[in-house]
Amino acid sequence: MRYHVTTFGCQMNEHDSERMRGMLDALGYQEAGTREDADLILFNTCSIRETADSRLVAHLGEAKRLKRENPERIVGVGGCWAQSLKDEVFERFPFVDVAFGPGQVNRLADFLLSDNLGAQGYFEFESFTGDLPAKRLRAVQGWLQVSVGCNCRCSYCIVPSTRGREVSRALADLVAQAHSMASDGVRELTLLGQNVNSYGRDLRPERATFAELLRQIDDVPGIERIRYTSPHPKDMREDVVRAHAELASLCEHIHLPLQSGSSRILRAMRRTYDRERYLDRVALIREHVPDVSLTTDIIVGFPGETESDFEQTLEVVDRVSYDGAFTFIFSPRRGTQAGELTDGLVPHEVKVARLERLVELVQRRARERAERFVGRTVEVLVEGASRTDPDRLRGRSRHNKVVNFTGLARPGDLAQVDITSATSQTLAGDERILTRAAAPA
Ligand code: 5AD
Ligand code: SF4
């Protein structure tokens, strides 16, 4: 039996898909190169914005056709979209055989092993996908799921309803997993949680803190880089900020979602911080880690956002001077508080115009910020060939910049790269050894 998985959405979904693959391999399935070649067609879905939904529906059309060609084929949908439509999935998409939420990936195995392959849905929150076997896409980079779920109530966000209440994994289990991944060759670990830095508060009898987790993972031999995503500004405590300055493996990059620069809109979003508190966090971070890269998420066109609210967002972007930002147009989601709002809706053209202005500023600042790397030598974890030039290499710096460079390093190596130019998104340069070799004696 052969399977094919398509992944939508965030890094947590990429993580969950690696676990689906690991579990299917353990069941004796093999991975197929295309959907046509697969007996089991899986989609790991996302529902964060409307665009995510519509992309998926287009893909499902192909699965429907393939199922018609060969009714023996099994079509499965997992993840957030499946969870959010649990009551309607089979009605609206009758060719789907199995549907499961993000907390039920393990049940896919039960389904495949059961005698009854009639339509079945699994939507309880009951287990950590992180406990399942993994089939990693990259040899030296790995995910570590530190918690599932989210206790925040951001009024625009569907995630609390698709991933449930927050539950942390035991500290000792995570450290043990980090050790075992390191012995498998993993050099860079990305800690994952929907609200990663609130890790540990729910653990009993002994609570743990995110900073403590970072320290213990930093001690794991072989793990040379630690990243994490996504933190919440409200939980960005001084101990975590200090960890960036003190722990050798913790990278100089923090993704700190802003969402809006207007305190009024932040309140309507139920973000639990205001503009000043956010800027305080940024100041604290820059005080301890002056060279840090900061990136963010911003939503424009939230209901009630006026021109003056939006200008406050531009102002924060201008003041913080991010190294990069993901920018989104507000998209009303089913079952969310903001999705129900009917007052103050921002017309689509206004949203698009605001997004354009925001993107222009973000890119300008990101380009200026990236300039600071020109003339410096940065450590790059090599991922493979450059996407634009197969004769060059590509990897990421500790500051999370994509670096394209000439060199002799192999995937998985940590290369020293002399940076010669920068754009808003990427850096370019030459590997140190080459520069040295070329230099006159
Ligand atoms: N509309 C637009 N953007 C959203 N995000 C989350 N929900 C929505 C929504 N309903 C954005 C936030 C979040 C990122 C992952 O997606 O910026 O940080
Ligand atoms: Fe999409 Fe959010 Fe679910 Fe990730 S957690 S898959 S971004 S809806």
Tens digit of each residue's pLDDT (9 = 90 or more) over 117-160: 677 888 777 778 988 889 998 999 999 999 999 999 999 999 99
| Domain boundaries defined on the chain | 2-122, 129-369, 374-431
Q: Quick check: 93 and 63 in contact, CB under 8 A?
A: no
Amino acid letter, 111 = F
State the pLDDT at residue 187. Answer: 97
The structure's pTM equals: 0.95
pLDDT of residue 15 exceeding 60, the answer is yes
pLDDT of residue 434 exceeding 80, the answer is no
What count of other Cβ atoms lies within 10 Å of the Cβ of residue 356? Answer: 12
Distance, in Å, from the CA atom of 181 to the CA atom of 18, rounded to the nearest integer, reads 14
Under DSSP, is residue 231 helix (H, G, I), strand (E, B) or coil? coil
Measured CA to CA in angstroms, residue 386 lies from 185, 235, 371, 394 at distances of 22, 36, 21, 5
Give yes or no for a cis peptide into 233 (omega within 30° of 0).
Answer: no
Q: What is the rounded average pLDDT of the residues 341-348?
A: 96
Alpha-helical runs (H) found in 227-274: 238-246, 263-269
**Scanning the structure block, which residue is given the tokens 């290369």?**
415
**Scanning the structure block, which residue is given the tokens 């005080």?**
287
Q: Quick check: 369 and 323 in contact, CB under 8 A?
A: yes
What count of other Cβ atoms lies within 10 Å of the Cβ of residue 394? Answer: 19
Phi first, then psi, for residue 276 (nearest 5°) are: -65, -45
Query: What is the third-level CATH fold of 129-369?
Result: pyruvate-formate lyase- activating enzyme (3.80.30)
Distance, in Å, from the CA atom of 173 to the CA atom of 195, rounded to the nearest integer, reads 19
Q: How far is the CA of 212 from the centre of ligand 1 (A)?
A: 29
Q: How far is the CA of 10 from the centre of ligand 2 (A)?
A: 5
Question: What is the atom index within ligand 2 of the atom nearest the CA of 52?
Answer: 1
State the pLDDT at residue 123. Answer: 77
Question: What is the atom index within ligand 2 of the atom nearest the CA of 13?
Answer: 6
Tens digit of each residue's pLDDT (9 = 90 or more) over 243-300: 999 999 999 999 999 999 999 999 999 999 999 999 999 999 999 999 999 999 999 9
Distance, in Å, from the CA atom of 65 to the CA atom of 69, rounded to the nearest integer, reads 6
**259 CB less than 6 Å from ligand 1?**
yes
Residues framing ligand 2 (Cβ under 6 A): 9-10, 12-13, 46-48, 79-80, 158-159, 162-163
**257 CB less than 6 Å from ligand 1?**
yes
Name, in order, each residue with C-beta under 8 angstroms of 16's C-beta and a sequence gap of 6 or more.
44, 78, 79, 102, 105, 129
SS3 annotation, 16-76: HHHHHHHHHHHCCCEECCCCCCCCEEEEEECCCCHHHHHHHHHHHHHHHHHHHHCCCCEEE
Q: Quick check: 428 and 404 in contact, CB under 8 A?
A: yes
Q: What is the rounded average pLDDT of the residues 336-365?
A: 97
Strand-pair category, 402-406 with 426-431: parallel
Distance, in Å, from the CA atom of 141 to the CA atom of 436, rounded to the nearest integer, reads 29
Distance, in Å, from the CA atom of 234 to the CA atom of 171, rounded to the nearest integer, reads 22
Q: Best mutation site among 7, 8, 13, 56 for ligand 2, i.e. most ligand atoms within 8 A of its Cβ?
A: 13
At 441, the pLDDT band (50, 70, 90 cuts) reads: very low
pLDDT of residue 17 exceeding 50, the answer is yes
**351 CB less than 6 Å from ligand 1?**
no
- CATH number belonging to domain 2-122: 3.40.50.12160
**331 CB less than 6 Å from ligand 1?**
yes
- CATH number belonging to domain 374-431: 2.40.50.140
Q: How far is the CA of 297 from the centre of ligand 2 (A)?
A: 14
State the pLDDT at residue 117. Answer: 66
Q: How far is the CA of 150 from the centre of ligand 2 (A)?
A: 11
